Structure formats: C-alpha cells, structure tokens
Chain A
Amino acid sequence: MKAEAFTIDHLLFTIDHPPFTKNNHLTASQIIFYIISAFILGTGLLAVTTRKIFRSAIWLLFSLIGIAALFFWMELEFIAAVQITVYVGGIVVLIIFSIFLTQKSGNQMAKPVRSRAIFAGIAVLIGFILSYLLISQYDFQPAGNQPLDASVGNIGTQLMSTGEHGYALPFEAVSILLLAAMIGCIVIAMKADKKQETRNKAQDNTRENVQDTRDKNEENERIINA
C-alpha cells in the first residue's frame, strides 16, 4: 500500500491530469458522461437552492431523470426503468401533490439564515474534499472488460432463489416493510378517531351553550332594566 501524503496539490494534479488526457481525445461516450454528470449536479444544486418550492420539485425531477440517464449510460436498462417509474412517476408526483396540499406554491420560501448557510457550505465543502481525497487515493482494481449480465431474467431468478446467492429473504423483508409502511401511513394520515372527535364536539357544544346562556341572561337583564 502506498503511503502518499494527502495534499491539495495531489488533488489538483489528479484533476488537471486525469488518466484519459494522455491522447487528448474525448470519445462520444466520455462526452455524454460529462454532459449527464453536469446536468445531474447542476439541477441538483438548483433543487436545493431555489426559493420557490414548486421549482425545487421540478429541478429534483430533472436531477432524477439525469440519474436514470446515467444508469442507461452504464447499460443497466432495468435499473434505469425502475428509477424512472418509482422516482419520477411515484415519489416526485407524491411530493408535488403534498406541495399543493400544504403550500402556496407561488410564494417564496424564507432565505436561509446567512450564518447557517455559510457554515453549511464550509462543512459540505470540507466533507467533499476529504471524501474525494480518500476516493482518489484508493487503489481500485477494475475487473477489466468483463460484461455485466444484468438482464431482467437474470435479476429475477437471483432475486427469487433461496440458494447461495439468492435474495429471497431480503425480498420478503422488503415486502413486509412495504406493507408496514402502507398501513402506517394510512393510520397516520387518518382523521382523529371518533371518540376524540365526539369529545371535541362536546367541548365545542358546551362552549356554545355557555355562550348562549350568557347571551340570554344579558337579554333578560336588558329587558328587566327596560
């Protein structure tokens, strides 16, 4: 294992001289990758900084589509399709619905407190530099040009098999998790139970009754005085 010093110079060197610039020719595949990455990061950054909440949701949608494009670029069509179906078709639509239910979507959100934004920016930057230093120093050993057979049939067979590399148990666990989440969110989002409601109504009624009797008393007093 090489014990190289973790310096900023090294990071800058790896950024300035990536391995592929030896021949100074970008292939189409590389250009597509950099375009997709720039798209993902740009829209992701806009999603967390824009101050209109509905636009933020739309930028998130674009970022997720960019990630699906990255999966397509890696020739994993099934994962990309799942990404589009579940995230774009499910989660983002759900988020937009909840925005409509709870917010006035034209309003601008409050600006983040400046000190908090600055400190968050510094913390995030330092964390990113440290992580990327670790990644750039680590000696990954790519397995060469072996193709990855991620056909749907292959995935399905292994997902359901109970053998040595089977994923039947996690599959069942995730099914139970989904069931629990479904029941849980129905219970959470349900209106308050009837007992509670009747109690609230009873309180309201007594309050109204008290008010009524007070009004009547006042009226009677007025009549008597007259």
Chain B
Amino acid sequence: MNDIPLTHILFVSTALFFIGMYGLFTRRNMITMLMSIELMLNSVNINFVAFNKYLYPNQLNGIFFTIFIITIAAAEAVVAIAIIINLYRSHHSIDVEDAGEMKW
C-alpha cells in the first residue's frame, strides 16, 4: 500500500469533506443536512487513519481519535434525529426554513 502517496488519500478525504459542505449549503431538509455532516465526519476519519498509518506507524493515536469520532458521530446523530422528530410533531415539516421562531 505504500505505493500510493499520502497526498492521494488526502485528496479523497478533502474532496469528500467539500462534497459534504456543498450538501450542507444547498440542502434545506434537516435529514439530508445531517447526512452531509456524516460525510464530513467520515472524511476526517480517513485523514486521521491515513496520517497514523503513513507518518506515525509506531503509535495508535489516530486510530483512537477515529474511534472517538465515530462514537461522537453516533451520539450526535441520535440527538439530532430526536430533535428532528420533535420538530416534525410541532411543525409538520422538517425544512429549516419553516422553523424560524427562534430567529432574531
């Protein structure tokens, strides 16, 4: 696997991060915005693992950060979906434009 330079893996993760960002900018449905955030978190995971593998193979720090990020992403998704379902109950829509009561 060392015949692939590190920059190519970083190209993939950077592209994935900005794809997620494009989704976050253009989508107005809360569930799809959550999906974009998951994509961005995953691109960060690729980064951590690749750095760990290529630059510091005698340590495991990148792997631990990946595990913690996966855990936090799961917790975040669960809370976000609870909020989305609660919002659907009160507004009958999960479009962010429809929930503007707390806008200043």
Closest to A137 in B: B7
B31 to chain A, nearest CB (A): 6
**Chain A, 119-168, CB within 8 A of any chain B CB:** 119-121, 123-125, 127-128, 131-132, 135-136, 140-143, 145-148, 150, 154-155, 158-159, 165, 167
CA of A117 to CA of B24 in the docked complex: distance in angstroms? 11
Q: Chain B, interface size: which category?
A: 35 or more
Contact residue among A53, A125, A186 (Cβ-Cβ distance under 8 Å from B29): A53
A174 CB–B CB distance under 8 Å: yes
Q: Given that A33-B8, A112-B27 are contacting pairs, would A70 and B46 also be in contact in the complex, using a CB cutoff of 8 Å? A: yes
B85 to chain A, nearest CB (A): 6
CA of A22 to CA of B18 in the docked complex: distance in angstroms? 30
Q: Given that A98-B84, A120-B22 are contacting pairs, would A74 and B53 also be in contact in the complex, using a CB cutoff of 8 Å? A: yes
- Could you say which residues of chain A place their CB within 8 Å of the CB of B8? 18, 33, 37
State the majority secondary structure of interface residues on B.
helix
Contact residue among A60, A136, A178, A182 (Cβ-Cβ distance under 8 Å from B39): A60
Whether A121 contacts B2 by the Cβ 8 Å rule is: no
- Could you say which residues of chain A place their CB within 8 Å of the CB of B68? 170, 174
A3 CB–B CB distance under 8 Å: no
CA of A143 to CA of B23 in the docked complex: distance in angstroms? 36
Whether B75 contacts A177 by the Cβ 8 Å rule is: yes
Q: Which residues of B contact A (CB under 8 A)?
A: 1-8, 10-12, 14-16, 18-23, 25-29, 31-32, 34-36, 38-39, 42, 45-46, 49-50, 52-61, 63-64, 66-68, 70-79, 81-86, 88, 94
The 4 closest A-B pairs by CB, nearest first: A48-B23, A120-B25, A185-B82, A181-B75
